[in-house]
């Protein structure tokens, strides 16, 4: 056999997790898949406080084969599965991008749940790098579950933002461009991408933006498309003179800094820089990741120009491409 | 349950097929996946004359669970499976992007093989649009196999080149660009992409290129990186004066046309246009697809500029992105 391709189950978990990258803040992006009775289920952790990836995929599988209540709360699902599993999962093979958690936080411990449900095997992308969360592997092994611990580079990439914002801060640069590199001359991205940006703005602590963008576009920079919270704003500008009627200054419960340094960033954990050519040039070696929203349109307009290169971590194909680079 | 996600098996088959898009000429790109004993297998048709997707995935699965000879020939695999399957596949669920073929060509009929192996179910992306190939669904149903016939738009996209080159011809425009739309100033694509282009050149009948590119780059335009055959060349140019020492003129067993019309194209079935801004402008509404090789590098160079938009059919994430658009 040319390729041993049942590892596609981990690929599926990784790809599903990327769909919720940034949106799980302050939690990591985690995906899981499960094969049971020749059916494949895939899910992810979608939002802090909501069920972990493992719980979502276990519940999807259980609900497919059984009549179940419509639970969305982790504690309810854990309790229900522990009471009603009836050894249903004993032949299941599970794949998860990150070691199942051993600690009880906003949701109960996944490792303790798996210990009871006893799937045949759990294949794990990487160990949890946060000491206080790890220990899941031991719990599973002690329960007699076959554990395959991989050391998959892609699963590290997936949680790099989490590692960084947990320890200190994570900063990414977002740029919206046409397919041929035009970034000026009105809205470029699709509605779908604009909604995604608002979802991300709802999660970040601080949004950094250049002075000229504020003066020319007169933006609001909130998350109104998703009824989300508006992040604090740092206008990175030497010239501190702005028309205070620009909508971004009118948003309630938001701080706005106007500074010619980036020092304010140090008080925040999850920071997006929305910029163009100038900010990109200045900050390209300063940021952790770059995220490009690339629209499948070619314009008769000039491109942004600078020298840079990056590794593509992931591409989400939506109406536009969302390209995560490092 | 929020999503019924066992349809990911078809997604896997579709994505696997795209890896071999164009390379299966004159056959269609087809992918297949199979779940058996809680293991997932995914494969594709890789090359005309080699086993079909269904046969590859059946053989992968059978070889994983049994000691088997190292067969690569379709007839050998068919014969071996028919003789030794011992009802192994009866619980298997198969997914295939295109209706299993009913006709015997260079390889035996997949529908007849499945009829014997009798998997539990076969889920099919689309019916075979070529009348003489269809009939697979009926063969499977008559054998008592559960058949789910979808009508999946993505499976049509996958075989659009095949439909076009079977009936008349398929033409695509290939452009290699930096992430910010620069296309001039030396090699832009990765080694991996250059190799891919050579693999494609080995399959196409005719390569169309602009006169200036020939004069400036003095290319060979063959498939030497993969020891493949060099396609015929149409230099699309008003000025018919070329230095005959340019390497492309020295390649054996190749026709080279120098024309200011595209009429020669009508004698060919699978045509790639490798061009830049000018050819793109001229031919953007003439071609069936556009294929962009997008390198994750940003250059301090000017972009190509024109007005166009397309739908992204598929993105292959390799060292570069290969973006298939329509």
Full set of structural domains in chain B with CATH: 5-162 (3.40.140.10), 168-325 (3.40.430.10)
% of chain A surpassing 90 pLDDT: 91
Q: Is B321 on the interface with A (CB under 8 A)?
A: yes
Mean pLDDT, rounded, of chain B: 94
In the numeric block, the tokens 């269904």 are attached to: B54
Give the minimum alpha-carbon distance from A256 to chain B in angstroms, rounded to a whole number.
31
Chain A hits for B299, Cβ within 8 Å: 305, 307
According to DSSP, the residues that pair with B124 across neighbouring strands are: B96, B149
ipTM: 0.94
User: Is residue A40 within 8 Å of B9, Cβ to Cβ?
Assistant: yes
Residues A164-192, mean pLDDT to the nearest whole number: 94
Give the minimum alpha-carbon distance from B32 to chain A in angstroms, rounded to a whole number.
12
Would you give the DSSP letter of residue B182? B
Chain B hits for A1, Cβ within 8 Å: 59-60, 63-64
Q: Is A2 on the interface with B (CB under 8 A)?
A: yes
3-state secondary structure of B246: coil
| pLDDT for residue B272 | 98
Cα gap A264→A268, rounded to integer Å: 8
| pLDDT for residue A6 | 53
In the numeric block, the tokens 């985690």 are attached to: A30
Chain B hits for A301, Cβ within 8 Å: 305
Name which of A4, A179, A312 is nearest B296 (Cβ-Cβ): A312
Chain B hits for A314, Cβ within 8 Å: 317
Across the interface, whether the CB atoms of B35 and A38 are under 8 A apart is answered yes
Chain B hits for A184, Cβ within 8 Å: none
Nearest to B219 by CA among B198, B239, B203, B240: B198
Q: Could you read off the pLDDT of A198-240 as tens digits, one per residue? A: 999 999 999 999 999 999 999 999 999 999 999 999 999 999 9
| pLDDT for residue A22 | 98
Across the interface, whether the CB atoms of B307 and A300 are under 8 A apart is answered yes
pLDDT at A1 over 70: no
Nearest to A205 by CA among A254, A274, A263: A254
CB pairs under 8 A between A and B: 153
In the numeric block, the tokens 């299993």 are attached to: B100
Q: Which of B277, B280, B298, B323 to mutate to test the interface with A (most CBs of A within 10 A)?
A: B298
Residues A5-30, mean pLDDT to the nearest whole number: 93
| pLDDT for residue A20 | 98
Across the interface, whether the CB atoms of B296 and A315 are under 8 A apart is answered no
User: Is residue B179 within 8 Å of A292, Cβ to Cβ?
Assistant: yes
Cα gap A321→A314, rounded to integer Å: 10
Residues A3-14, mean pLDDT to the nearest whole number: 78
Residues 262-291 of B with CB under 8 A from A: none
According to DSSP, the residues that pair with B122 across neighbouring strands are: B94, B147
Handedness of CA B239, B242, B246, B251 (dihedral sign): positive
pLDDT at B258 over 90: yes
Q: Could you read off the pLDDT of A59-107 as tens digits, one per residue? A: 999 999 999 999 999 999 999 999 999 999 999 999 999 999 987 776 7
Name which of A39, A298, A315 is nearest B315 (Cβ-Cβ): A315
pLDDT at B132 over 90: no
pLDDT at A39 over 80: yes
Residues A122-143, mean pLDDT to the nearest whole number: 91
Chain A hits for B323, Cβ within 8 Å: 296, 321
Residues B98-104, mean pLDDT to the nearest whole number: 89
Q: Is A93 on the interface with B (CB under 8 A)?
A: yes
In the numeric block, the tokens 């390569």 are attached to: B207
Q: Could you read off the pLDDT of B29-70 as tens digits, one per residue? A: 999 999 999 999 999 999 999 999 999 999 999 999 999 999
User: Is residue A7 within 8 Å of A36, Cβ to Cβ?
Assistant: no
Residues B301-313, mean pLDDT to the nearest whole number: 97
Q: Could you read off the pLDDT of B2-20 as tens digits, one per residue? A: 344 458 999 999 999 999 9
């Amino acid at each position: 056999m040319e390729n041993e391709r049942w590892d596609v189950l981990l690929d599926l978990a990784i790809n599903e997790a990327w769909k919720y990258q940034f949106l799980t803040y302050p939690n990591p992006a985690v995906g899981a898949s499960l094969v049971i009775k020749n059916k494949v289920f895939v899910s992810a952790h979608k939002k802090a406080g909501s069920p972990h990836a493992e719980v979502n995929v276990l519940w999807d599988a259980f609900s497919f084969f059984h009549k179940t209540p419509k639970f969305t709360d982790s504690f309810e699902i854990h309790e229900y599965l522990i009471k009603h599993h009836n050894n249903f999962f004993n032949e299941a093979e599970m794949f998860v991008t990150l070691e199942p958690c051993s600690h009880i936080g906003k949701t109960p411990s996944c490792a303790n749940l798996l210990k009871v449900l006893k799937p045949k095997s759990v294949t794990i992308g990487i160990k949890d790098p946060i000491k206080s969360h790890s220990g899941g592997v031991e719990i599973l092994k002690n329960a007699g579950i076959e554990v395959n611990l991989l050391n998959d580079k892609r699963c590290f990439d997936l949680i790099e933002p989490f590692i960084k914002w947990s320890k200190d801060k994570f900063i990414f640069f977002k740029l919206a461009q046409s397919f041929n590199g035009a970034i000026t001359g009105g809205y470029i991205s699709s509605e779908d991408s604009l909604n995604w940006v608002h979802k991300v703005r709802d999660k970040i602590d601080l949004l950094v933006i250049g002075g000229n963008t504020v003066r020319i576009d007169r933006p609001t920079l909130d998350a109104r498309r998703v009824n989300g919270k508006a992040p604090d704003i740092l206008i990175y500008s030497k010239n501190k003179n702005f028309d205070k009627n620009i909508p971004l200054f009118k948003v309630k419960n938001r701080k706005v800094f106007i500074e010619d340094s980036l020092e304010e960033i140090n008080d925040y954990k999850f920071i997006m820089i929305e910029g163009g050519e100038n900010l990109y040039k200045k900050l390209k070696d300063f940021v952790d990741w770059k995220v490009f929203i690339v629209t499948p349109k070619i314009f008769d307009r000039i491109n942004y120009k600078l020298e840079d290169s990056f590794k593509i971590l992931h591409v989400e194909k939506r109406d536009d491409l969302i390209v995560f680079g490092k």
